[in-house]
Structure 1
C-alpha cells in the first residue's frame, strides 16, 4: 500500500503542518514554504515502493522546498530524484544552476545536497527516486549529470518513461511484472546519468549493460510507428545492426517477432476499451503500427485463435 496524504481530509488549520510532515517522509528534510499559507493550502502526495526505488507523485497549491546546506549535512543517504512537471512549470536552483522546467519536461535533483525547488499556483509533478547505491556510478558523475540531463541522448526516452510511471503508479505496482519494470527503470536512470555526466569508462560500461533495456523501452514508445525497423532501432542507439541482433539473441529475443507480439497485445487490449468501440478494426490496427488490416487479422488469429471482431464481440458478451 502507498503512503498517501490528502489534505482534503483535514481541517484547513492542520494542512500546513501535515504537508511538512509528509514531505519529510516522501522526499528529503527541507523547509516547506507555501505560496499562500493563509489561503487555500491543498496537497495530495503518494509514495509507492517500486523495487529498490520509489515513485512519488505530488499535486498541491504553490509551494517551495528549500533544503539548506545545514540540512544537507544531516542526511547520510544520497538519493537522486528525476521529476517530470505535470502542471505548472517548476523552478530549480542547485549547484549554481537556475532553471525553469516547463510542463512535460524532466529535472534531476540530488536530494542529499542543498536545493531550492518551487512552483506557483496549482502544480504537480511525478518523480522516480533512486539511491546512488543502485546506480553503479561514481558520486561525482551522478552529481554532475543532475545539472546536465538534457544533454543526454536518452533524455526524451527517460522523461516519457517517468511520466508514464507517474500517470497510474497503483496499476503499475500491482502488476506481477513490477519487479522487472522497476529494475528496467533504474537501468534507464543509470544510462541517462552516465550519458549526461560524461562518465568515461563507467559510462561505456553502463551503456553496454543497459542496451537491451533501452531498446525494449524505445520499441514500446514507438510501437504505433509503422516505420519502426531494426535498422531504425540500431541507429537510435548508435550501434550496428549486427550488434543489436547479437544482444537480442543473447537474451533469447527475436526482435521482429517481439515487436509484432507487443503490437498485437496493444491492439487486443484496445479492442476492449469502451472509448474504442466506434473505431474499426482496421483503424485500431493502424494505431498499433500495422499498415495492412488483412495482415493484422491473420496475425491476430494465429496468436489468439479468433478474429479481432470475434474477440471484441465475445468480450462484450461476457460483460453484458
Structure 2
C-alpha cells in the first residue's frame, strides 16, 4: 500500500508530510533534510505480513535524530526495526557508536533507544518492524547486538531471508502462509540478536537457537535447493543435529522434509518454465537447475502436482494472453493450477 508520494504534493507541503509519516508510524523524531531548498522527494510504501509491518522508503537525503526525550514518548507497543540498505550508503549512530551501513549489512534499531540514521543524496531502505513483546528481548540486548551483528554466524542467513521477503512483499501479504512467515522471521531475528549480543554458551542464545531451528533449517534448505547433493544428513550436519532430531523437529511443525523440498523445487521450475528469458532452456536443463537428477522423475512429479507436463505448462504460460487473461483457445475452467 502506498503511504505517501511527495511528488503529488506542493513543494512547500513536503517536509511536513514527510515528518508526519515518520512520526505517525514511530516515536517522535527530529528530521533534518539534507538540501530542502533543492526539493524533497520521497515515496513510502507498506505491507502487512502476518505480525510484521514492512516498509519501503525512497527519498532524498535526510537524517532522523531520536533522543532520550523522544524515547519517553513511545507508543504502547514499541517495535524493533530491521532494515536493508537498498540504495546509497547509510549513516547510523547507535549504542554510542557511529558506523556506515552498506548493501550487505543489516541495520537494527530499537524504538526505546536513542539513535541517528539517514543518508546523503538519493537513497532507499527496506525495513521489517517487529513488536518488542513478540521479539522477547530486552532493550539492552537489542542495542548491544545492533553494532556487532556480523559477529554472529547467523548474519548471512538472516540477510538472505530478508532479501527474499523484499522481492515481492505484496504477494507475501496475500499468501495464506503470511502468519507463519511472520513468526519464522521473528524467530530468525531473535536468534541473530541473541547470538550477536551474548556468548555462544549463554542460555539466552541456546533458547533462541532452539526456537529458530525450524526456520533456520528451511532457510538453509531454500538456499541449497538447486544442489542435487542436498540430503537430510547434510542438512542435519549443517545445524549440528542428528538426522533423527531433524525429522523430529520438522514433524512437530507438520513438515515432511522430502515433500517440502520437492514442492519448493517444483515451484522454482514453474518460474523458469514461464520465464521468456529461459524459453530456449530444455526441460531437462530446467530439471537440473532445480535440483532434480532425473528428467523423467521431474516430469512425473510435475504432472502429479499440476496435472500437466512441464512442456504443456510452458506452452500455456508463454503463449500470448488476451485482455481477459485467458489463453487463446483455452477453456478457462481447464487452466493448470
In the superposition, the TM-score normalised over structure 2's length comes to: 0.87
CA distance in 2, matches of 1:125, 1:280: 38
Written as runs of structure 1 = structure 2, the 5 A alignment for 1:184-263 is 184-198=184-198, 200-263=202-265
Structure 1 residue aligned with 2:331 = none
Q: Does the aligned pair in 2 maintain the 1:26–1:47 contact within 8 Å?
A: no
Gaps of 5+ in 2: 320-325, 329-337
Relative to structure 1, is the Cα distance of residues 291 and 40 closer, same or farther in structure 2, using a 3 angstrom cutoff? farther
Shift of 1:117: 0.8
Q: Does 1:10 align with 2:9?
A: yes
Q: Please give the alpha-carbon distance, in whole angstroms, between the structure 1 residues aligned to 2:255 and 2:175.
A: 22
For the Cα contact (< 8 Å) 1:4–1:47, is it kept in 2? Answer: yes
SS of corresponding position for 1:242: helix
Please name the residue that 1:106 is paired with.
106
Equivalent residues in 2 for 1:13-32, closer than 5 Å? 13-32=12-31
Residues 42-51 or 308-317, more deviating: 308-317
**Unpaired segments ≥5 residues, structure 1:** none
Contact 1:137 1:202 survives alignment (8 Å): no
In structure 2, relative to structure 1, the CA distance for the partners of 1:257 and 1:169 (3 Å cut) is: closer
Q: Distance in 1 between matches of 2:228 and 2:121?
A: 41
Match of residue 311, structure 1, among 310, 313, 320: 313
**Counterpart of 2:83?**
83
1:51 corresponds in structure 2 to 50
Q: Check the 8 A contact 1:78/1:111 in 2, yes or no.
A: yes
Q: For the structure 1 residues 3 and 306, does the alpha-carbon distance in structure 2 shift closer, same or farther, using more than 3 Å as the test?
A: closer
Equivalent in the alignment of 1:143: 143
Does residue 1:126 correspond to 2:134, yes or no? no
Using the alignment, how far apart are the partners of 1:150 and 1:243 within structure 2? 28
Q: Say which SS state the counterpart of residue 37 (structure 2) adopts.
A: coil
Q: Distance in 2 between matches of 1:222 and 1:196?
A: 25
Deviation at 1:209, TM superposition (A): 1.9
Offset, 1:16: 1.4
User: How many residues are paired up?
Assistant: 319
126-135 vs 47-56, which moves further: 47-56
Deviates more, 1:236-245 or 1:50-59: 236-245
Once residues 181 and 238 of structure 2 are traced to their aligned partners in structure 1, the CA distance between those partners, rounded to angstroms, is 22
1:294-309 matches, within 5 Å, as 294-309=296-311
**C-alpha displacement of 1:306:** 2.9
Distance 2:139 2:80 in 1: 11
Shift in Å at residue 3 of structure 1? 5.4
With 11-20 and 242-251 compared, the bigger mean Cα shift is at 242-251
Q: Which moved more, 1:16-25 or 1:306-315?
A: 306-315
Distance 2:248 2:203 in 1: 22
**Cα displacement (A) at 1:115:** 0.6
Could you tell me how far apart the structure 1 residues matched to 2:30 and 2:110 are? 16
Task: Return the alpha-carbon distance in structure 2 between the equivalents of residues 234 and 182 of structure 1.
Answer: 24
Which piece of structure 1 moves more, 45-54 or 107-116?
45-54
Q: Measured at CA, do residues 252 and 23 of structure 1 come closer, stay the same or move farther in structure 2, by a change above 3 Å? A: closer
Helix, strand or coil at the partner of 1:86:
strand
* Of 17-26 and 299-308, the range deviating more from structure 2: 299-308
Tell me by how many angstroms 1:316 deviates.
4.5
Alpha-carbon distance, 1:237 to partner: 2.0
